[in-house]
Structure 1
Amino acid sequence: MRHLYLVTHPEAQHHVDGVVGGWYDSELTPRGHQQAERIADVLASRIGARPVEIYSSDLRRTAQTAEHLAQRFGVDVHTDPRLRERTNGEADGRPQSWLDDRRIPLPESGDRLAHHDGPAGAETRLALVERLYPALDDILSSPAETQIVVSHGSATSYLILAWLGMPMTATDRGFFPLKAGSITTLRRNDTHHSNQVIALNETTHLHPVE
């Protein structure tokens, strides 16, 4: 069986400063580094001595999280910019209120995937899934039975949908509100030939440093 652990990066500076994340390249806070160590503790206890591959978005907050894991397991990190969060264009790095005042609300119906939120340079959700789905396909093409993917909240949500085999055109309704520093455990059951979600959005490991 294949086990895939999806990790959302823990507390980053843009969370504390109240600014828009996206491709804004903020770093983990000191507490975020502590939370990353907690994540490494949990995954090390579950994976043990089994070989593991680690993949990460190239933004600093995810790369720093992945480095904590890499040091624990003694492996390298495979960095892939396709695992980045959806960019908000010119809103990235600005106060969240700046984006809230300019955002064009997502419509209830129609072509929601191609909807543009308003800020210049912002990605549509369609552009996001069009890079995330192939990224996951490439990760799963490896014969490794245990893999860790470090990414961002919204991006990780769409990775779960990709894992479940949801067509890209159907992802306009599905979404998992994942918390910073969460762990989601996925498993491929070779007996039933099914992709399973074993644990979703685990955060209890963060409690000692919250």
Structure 2
Amino acid sequence: MTSSSLDSISQLHILFIRHGETQDNIDRLLQGHRDTTLTPKGHYEAQTLAEKLRNQPIDIIYHSPLTRIIQTIAPILVEHPDVPIVADADLKGQALGLLEGGSYNSIDMNNPRSADGQPGVELFDDFVRRLKRVFGRIVAAEAARTGIKDRVVVIATHGVGITSLFKALESSPGCDGFNPRLAVRGPHAWEVRWPDSDDIARLVVARPENLPVREGVLDWEGIEGKPFTIEEWGKKEKAIVRQELVIH
């Protein structure tokens, strides 16, 4: 294959964004499915995010239906008024039952399964399976729509969902066992607890036409190799600080 034909191969770019600041974030309260709104700082972060994406072509936006997410993508839609949007309840964060509205201190924030067994809490493993299910639907649909040009998809969701999905794709500790390692990291991808609200995490599929799809859904068991590249994820300085905290 010539270099010119290689250059013509289109890619699927998936941009993950997290909602802006809420009062629960300030008060260190667990939100889960609790429907909260952005603070003035959160609206500023949403505007900053929109400015970062101003010159970025966007083909479609999938989003969690919670208010803080809808408010976060509103400035993006001002810049991209013709972009279709799709709300999907499976893009909500982990349901935390009776823990919602309670302090971060009520669970071990470094242990993703520490809330398991509490009343109304969605088991962490079930949460990750839900993330894989919705991601599989989106990737299958958008891979089929990727033509001669790169296709760019935005997924607006919650920080715990972004981190848990990426770690599951990498089969890294805490999210191993859901599948073999399917993703590699680029030089600008750093593991963080969750991305900052004005960050954009980018995952790329270089050959979307090669992904196995069955009945409109990604066939996870049929995936060969590592088709996903996490090109951007969090900030280096935050990742280093978190690693030092874990070590000490």
Q: Which residue of 2 aligns with 1:129?
A: 128
The question of whether the paired residues in 2 share the 8 Å contact of 1:161 and 1:171 is answered with: no
Amino acid at match of 1:41: E
The alignment-based identity, stated in percent, is: 22
Cα offset for 1:203?
Answer: 9.6
Q: Secondary structure at the match of 2:154?
A: strand
For residues 59-208 of structure 1, the aligned pairs below 5 Å read 59-74=66-81, 75-97=83-105, 99-100=106-107, 106=111, 117-141=116-140, 142=142, 143-144=145-146, 145-161=151-167, 170-171=177-178, 176-181=192-197, 182-190=199-207, 194-202=227-235
Cα offset for 1:79?
Answer: 0.5
Stretch moving more, 115-124 or 146-155: 115-124
Q: 1:88 to 1:200 in 2, by over 3 A?
A: same
Q: 1:29 to 1:160 in 2, by over 3 A?
A: same
Q: Which residue of 1 aligns with 2:52?
A: 42
Give the Cα separation in 2 of the matches to 1:35 and 1:42. Answer: 11
> How many aligned residue pairs are there?
190
TM-score, length-scaled by structure 1: 0.77
Amino acid at match of 2:164: Y
TM-score, length-scaled by structure 2: 0.66
Give the Cα separation in 2 of the matches to 1:164 and 1:71. Answer: 35
Give the Cα separation in 1 of the matches to 2:115 and 2:69. Answer: 26
Cα offset for 1:162?
Answer: 5.3
Q: Deviations over 1:32-56 (max 9, x none)?
A: 01101111111223x2xx3421011
Give the aligned CA root-mean-square deviation in angstroms. 3.2
Q: Secondary structure at the match of 2:61?
A: strand
Q: Which has the higher contact order (CA 8 A, sep 6+)?
A: 1
24, 36, 39: which one aligns with 1:26: 36
Give the Cα separation in 2 of the matches to 1:53 and 1:202. Answer: 26
The question of whether the paired residues in 1 share the 8 Å contact of 2:90 and 2:130 is answered with: yes
Cα offset for 1:151?
Answer: 0.7
The question of whether the paired residues in 2 share the 8 Å contact of 1:9 and 1:62 is answered with: yes
Q: Deviations over 1:143-169 (max 9, x none)?
A: 151000011111111232455588x76
Give the Cα separation in 1 of the matches to 2:152 and 2:93. Answer: 23
Structure 1 consecutive aligned stretches of length 4 or more whose deviation exceeds 6 Å: none
